[in-house]
Amino acid sequence: MRYPMDEKARARLRQAQQQEAEALAAVAAAARKLSQVQDKMAAAMARHQDAVDAAELSVASAQKHLVSVSGLERSSTLLDQSLTSLRSAIRSAESDGDASPARLASAAHRGQAATPD
């Protein structure tokens, strides 16, 4: 790299380097802020996902109780849910203690049994 011999040229170069360093520092600060905000969002989403999972577990438990009280066919009618999908959801809830509530609920809506991964 050649260095300017003229003092004005060297001053312009120093000024450009200073501006470049300041701009680079601003980018780094913005990237740190973005990372902090993303981490905060991920934590909030995880908290809310726990609440969603708990609610889905509550629905699955309530469906199972309804079936025990009213029977499968009547529960299917009351819930406006196909007999097959309700049966699958109840079977999954009974047999798969490790099945996630989200999978149970989605299986019930799709009319499929949730299977462990």
Q: Residue 100 contacts by C-beta under 8 Å, 6 or more apart in sequence?
A: 53, 114
This prediction's pTM: 0.50
Q: What is the dihedral of CA 107, 93, 61, 77, to 10 degrees?
A: 50
Domain locations along the chain: 56-112
Convert the pLDDT of each residue in 58-112 to its tens digit. Answer: 888 889 999 999 999 999 999 999 999 898 888 777 764 544 445 545 555 544 4
Convert the pLDDT of each residue in 78-92 to its tens digit. Answer: 999 999 989 888 877
